[in-house]
Structure 1
Amino acid sequence: MVHLVLFQPEIPQNTGNIARTAAALGFPLHLIRPLGFRLGDKRLLRAGLDYWPHVDLRVHDTWEAFLGALPPEARVWAFSARAEQSLYEARFQEGDYLLFGPETRGLPPGILARFPGVRIPMPGPVRSLNLAVAVGVYRQLSVG
């Protein structure tokens, strides 16, 4: 099991889809405020379908509150298009925290400097993946 962490997510449909993925895989989902939507947003709830009772949802009011909740041995991986290490080179372990930034701006430089960065290689002309798809790419790698 790993932890999925969304830093200041902006789009409720992406977060709802990621919540479904978290419920399906049994991964805790951490949301770090501020959020770009309310937790009762109809678009968020619709994207998560009727799986919300199965989501281990943990909401942190600030980045500092999230850091304070981490166990001392926690390993955090910061996903970013600007990271040098490929997802395929990283050695993930049970209990790791996979950190994803907001859809329009990604993770701030200070966070990227603190944790190992991981990028999803995209040799084609596409600049980035949808956040919900990026979260799913990790799962494909971890089982294959």
Structure 2
Amino acid sequence: MKMKITDRGVGVGFHIVLYQPEIPYNTGNIARTCAATNTKLHIIRPMGFTTDDRMLKRAGCDYWHSVDIAYYDSMEECMALYSDHRFFFIETQGKHTYTEVTYKDGDFFVFGKESTGIPKSILEQHRENWIKIPMSLEHVRSLNLSNTAAILVYEALRQTNFPGLE
């Protein structure tokens, strides 16, 4: 599988960061959302699968050529490259709901690994940018990662009038 690895430039569109993703279907679905919304995908290694995984290919369908994707060895590496951007960390214990934030072009949405989320050491450094999607924690532990990513990206796009989308 050939993935497009480019840099559209800083401040163009929104960004999804997957911190050590474990499930290929989720990453494939998120990649498809990224292709549909001109959102750049950033992946923090290690991943729980390889990029030639057939489930990853299947979930992303034939959209991989349209995904702007970059890989990093740490969250710090990614944040250092985009130090003038806002990073929002999505976790069930976030202080603010995702609809309380006014998003702007170039914002980053960080999602943790499916089994353990974003490490507390990272979250504690960015408590002011910790957001959540309201839900009943009495009934479920969390929403599906790819659904959560789509909710955040589409809210940000809605707030900015869906630039470049039909």
Q: TM-score, normalised by structure 2?
A: 0.81
In the other structure, the counterpart of 2:149 is 135
AA of the residue aligned to 1:83: G
State which of 28, 45, 48 in structure 1 corresponds to 2:60: 48
What fraction of aligned residue pairs are identical, expressed as a percent? Answer: 40
CA distance in structure 2 between the aligned counterparts of 1:29 and 1:140, rounded to whole angstroms: 15
User: Does structure 1 retain, via aligned residues, the 8 Å contact 2:14–2:153?
Assistant: no
Superimposed CA distance per residue, residues 15-71 of structure 1 (whole angstroms, 9 cap, x where no aligned partner): 00000000000010000001000111111111001100000011112223222322x
User: Secondary structure at the residue paired with 1:50?
Assistant: coil
CA distance in structure 1 between the aligned counterparts of 2:102 and 2:143, rounded to whole angstroms: 22
RMSD: 1.4
Following superposition, the deviation at residue 136 of structure 1 comes to 1.0
AA of the residue aligned to 1:136: A
Name stretches of at least 5 consecutive residues in structure 1 with no aligned partner.
none
Name stretches of at least 5 consecutive residues in structure 2 with no aligned partner.
1-12, 160-166
AA of the residue aligned to 1:117: W
Following superposition, the deviation at residue 84 of structure 1 comes to 1.5
Q: TM-score, normalised by structure 1?
A: 0.93
CA distance in structure 1 between the aligned counterparts of 2:102 and 2:124, rounded to whole angstroms: 19
